[in-house]
Structure 1
Amino acid sequence: MEIAYPYPFRNIPKGQLETLENLLEAFRADRHPLKTNLMVGAFRTSDGLPYVLPAVKEAKRRMFSDLEWNHEYRQSHLGTRSFRDVSQRLFFGTDSLLVKNNRIVSMQALGGSGACHMGAVLLRNHYEPWKTTQRPKVFIPTESWANHSNVFTSQGIEAHYVPYFNSVTQAFDFDSFRATLSGLPSQSVVVLQTGAHNPTGCDPSLEQWKSLATVFEQHGHFAFWDAAYPGLASGCIDEDLAGFRHFAERGIPLLLAATYGKCFGLYCERVGVLSFVVPDESVRERMEVQMRLQARAETGAMPDFGATIVETILLDPELEDQWRRQVRSMAVDLRQRRLQLRQGLERLGTPGHWSHVTDQKGMFSYVQEPGEI
């Protein structure tokens, strides 16, 4: 006898992700020798192969040589204390008073998207301006990582957009961005990227970051920082994080959702970290409890392998120095490829002006027709 029952997911619509996956399948099936994948968000060698940083290879060698290394659960749902400590020093700076005064609370996360997700959930549950409204809102640059809006809307948070890119100059539109932030409701949550902006490759200068910090101070805005590409804009980790650190030092309310996927090449290991700046020890302890409960509810124990690679490198000054030099070489390589692309377009007489290809930084080059939405 067959029992009939209604299937509750019968009318699920096809989405953008399926279209992208179909496009990737078509790319793999194409046998043309000169095909190029412009969708992959990963650094490749000049031969188009995955690049494993030598510092990462050395860290893995040390791990495999450690007879006491095992696959037990980590002691904390937040990741090891050493992983959180080295992460705070890397992103906030070794001389940061926030680090020295225990003003930061952190947790390991499943890559950058996991850190953004956890940050969104914790804000939804505990950010007072959001708790007093039925429908919280987040403000995201019109040109931003495609998954930013998904992270927030999946949690019932409305995504609203602010202008970021000038299609005439093919550059960051500082005046429009600053003016729009100045007109937002007080205590708004605004998504920012630390450097090598996805997808435009256009970042504010340090002076512009300082001006934007003043707007945040004046209006009490909360800065939701996403750090996905430290070092890949300028070649220097500290330089790429200077704007973020300026916000932190000025005491602007913020969180940092960061990933080690790009600058360590640990893409599939999904190693990320989420950090909040807190006013005092009491809030730090309570926030850590909420982070632990959230991690317990969603992921349980954090994955060990990629995080141990990060710890191994950042706990050894010599190995960290090697890693920083390798990140710099990646940035130099990206700049050289940009130059070659621009020169090739200009040599072919391609219509348009192509200076933006070398003006933009990082892994993305962005073109938008004037007036295009």
Structure 2
Amino acid sequence: MNKACSGQISARVVSERKEMNCGIHGVSFSSSATPSERRLSALARHLISPSESCSCSASGVSASITSSDVGSVFSHVARAPEDPILGVTVAYNKDSSPVKLNLGVGAYRTEEGKPLVLNVVRKAEQQLVNNRSRVKEYLPIVGLAEFNKLSAKLIFGVDSPCIRDNRVTTVQCLSGTGSLRVGGEFLTRHYHQRIIYIPVPTWGNHPKVFTLAGLSVKSYRYYDPITRGLDFKGLLEDLDSAPSGAIVLLHACAHNPTGVDPSIQQWEQIRQMIRSKGLLPFFDSAYQGFASGNLDKDAQSVRMFVADGGECIVAQSFAKNMGLYGERVGALSIVCKTADVAGKVESQLKLVIRPMYSNPPIHGASIVAAILRDRTLYDEWTIELKAMADRIISMRHQLFNALRDRDTPGDWSHIIKQIGMFTFTGLNVRQVSFMTREYHIYMTADGRISMAGLSSSTVSHLADAIHAAVTHVA
């Protein structure tokens, strides 16, 4: 075909296409237009370029096809409220006040109020970068084998009988939340009792995670708002009345949100009650080493339940104690009676994980494994970990002293008695709202504050706000 002929054909095709386009745009579709007519109009809008459509009627589509006509299959969806914890940061970010203070989200901050990446984490990452043999292939369904092995040793102890006898199976999960969810899904499918008891109060995500996993969520008394301490009598009474075989969620240390932990003697009584009733303990270990600054001390509650030869479940997170919040690194361990049972349990955990997220990410787990396997890095980590824990303890004492200096009404000794990242202040919803409105201090509505978000330079501002709130707001 010669160039002249080709040019004539091309011009004719373009001309016909423009006529077709203008014809489509010139049609005025009413509310009674057929679905095929509406689809044709939508298709035309995508196909026509601005230059081609400019000669068409400008009033065509814009005047006749309205959003209400087209509609959305999701138009019935209601706007969900912000997460009660993460929503605090959303509100904080919208505040332009220079004195605003975010004490809502549980993430460690430096004395300058900045996020912290541990030096040991940076060193481990550099080692990974320098290792040219590393690849980015999929991990197995259960995750990085070395990470799983080292995580189990960290929580149960190097010489733990469950590790020695191969009675524990550990799988890598998506931080603490993912570990809890996988554990809940497994129990729904393979455990005879589908009731789980959680403490009141507890982390806000716990009831949602277990309910969506298919378990029936009940509660047991834990916090006494009068003493601002442990309601130990109520705890034992509620566990004693639980049906045989029920699952019991336990915070391994640094209870969230109260910061109130049982003593070792109380833990022993809890253990005896759970074993005598045939209950199944499910530990949430989100703060190992972050509560007291000592990794072994913060794992004592878990190890007591393993030492008696019974079965238990543990969800671990490395978000707080290694500062790997965004890496989503966690592990789920299930301690069984025999190695054979543990192997079968692992096979079923794979079936839970595979359709959920297939396999976990490699980077965060590799960081943890690098730190836990190397004695030099491990020792450096424990030093940094203790420094974080000690700074939080220091913030507790500074806040307590500031309130005492102001003669703030009430007994505030619970601030220095509680442990871990959070303090359950005892402030009510109205007082919290007052502090946010008048002092630009953000916290969850239940009065929980993150001590890790406090610094020596902001303690006085918080103390002023608390003093004003309890003095002027009932």
Question: For the superposition of Structure 1 and Structure 2, which TM-score range results when normalised by the shorter chain?
Answer: over 0.9
Does structure 1 retain, via aligned residues, the 8 Å contact 2:85–2:105? no
The alignment partner of 1:63 has SS state of helix
2:137 is aligned, of 61, 66, 72, to: 72
Does structure 1 retain, via aligned residues, the 8 Å contact 2:185–2:214? no
State the alpha-carbon separation in 1 of the partners of residues 70 and 264 from structure 2.
61
- Correspondences of 1:205-244 after superposition (within 5 Å): 205-244=263-302
- Correspondences of 1:325-344 after superposition (within 5 Å): 325-344=383-402
Q: Which amino acid aligns with 2:182?
A: M
Aligned residues: 365
Match of residue 133 from structure 1: none
The alignment partner of 2:382 has SS state of helix
2:113 is aligned, of 48, 63, 77, to: 48
Match of residue 119 from structure 1: 183
State the alpha-carbon separation in 2 of the partners of residues 8 and 173 from structure 1.
49
Sort the Cα spacing of 1:52 and 1:20 in 2 relative to 1 into closer, same or farther, 3 A: closer
State the alpha-carbon separation in 1 of the partners of residues 71 and 315 from structure 2.
41
- Correspondences of 1:98-177 after superposition (within 5 Å): 98-128=162-192, 130=193, 136-177=194-235
| 189-198 or 171-180: bigger deviation | 171-180
Does structure 2 retain, via aligned residues, the 8 Å contact 1:257–1:273? yes
Does structure 2 retain, via aligned residues, the 8 Å contact 1:223–1:252? no
Between structures 1 and 2, the one with greater helix share:
2
The alignment partner of 1:59 has SS state of helix
Structure 1's consecutive aligned runs of 4 or more residues displaced over 6 angstroms after TM superposition are 3-8
Sort the Cα spacing of 1:91 and 1:22 in 2 relative to 1 into closer, same or farther, 3 A: closer
Q: Which amino acid aligns with 2:292?
A: S
State the alpha-carbon separation in 2 of the partners of residues 277 and 358 from structure 1.
35
TM-score (norm 1): 0.93
Q: Which amino acid aligns with 2:159?
A: D
Q: Which amino acid aligns with 2:116?
A: Y
The alignment partner of 1:365 has SS state of strand
Q: Which has the larger radius of gyration?
A: 2
Match of residue 193 from structure 1: 251
1:95 is the counterpart of 2:131: no
Q: CA deviation at 1:11?
A: 4.1
Q: Which amino acid aligns with 1:174?
A: F
State the alpha-carbon separation in 2 of the partners of residues 297 and 194 from structure 1.
29
State the alpha-carbon separation in 2 of the partners of residues 70 and 213 from structure 1.
44
Residues 260-318 of structure 1: per-residue CA shift (max 9 Å, x gap): 11100000000000000111122122111111122211111210110000000000112
Q: CA deviation at 1:169?
A: 1.1
- Which consecutive unaligned segments of at least 5 residues does structure 2 have? 1-36, 40-68, 429-445, 447-474
Sort the Cα spacing of 1:351 and 1:16 in 2 relative to 1 into closer, same or farther, 3 A: farther
State the alpha-carbon separation in 2 of the partners of residues 58 and 22 from structure 1.
33
Does structure 2 retain, via aligned residues, the 8 Å contact 1:138–1:157? yes
| 216-225 or 5-14: bigger deviation | 5-14
Sort the Cα spacing of 1:19 and 1:198 in 2 relative to 1 into closer, same or farther, 3 A: closer
State the alpha-carbon separation in 2 of the partners of residues 289 and 5 from structure 1.
49
State the alpha-carbon separation in 1 of the partners of residues 81 and 407 from structure 2.
34
Match of residue 298 from structure 1: 356
Q: CA deviation at 1:70?
A: 2.2
The alignment partner of 1:2 has SS state of helix
Residues 316-368 of structure 1: per-residue CA shift (max 9 Å, x gap): 11211111121111111000011111111222222211110111011100033
Q: Which amino acid aligns with 1:263?
A: N
Q: CA deviation at 1:9?
A: 5.1
Match of residue 29 from structure 1: 94
Residues 59-91 of structure 1: per-residue CA shift (max 9 Å, x gap): 0111111111221212x1101221111011101
- Correspondences of 1:241-260 after superposition (within 5 Å): 241-260=299-318
State the alpha-carbon separation in 2 of the partners of residues 8 and 180 from structure 1.
46
Q: CA deviation at 1:172?
A: 1.2
- Correspondences of 1:346-361 after superposition (within 5 Å): 346-361=404-419
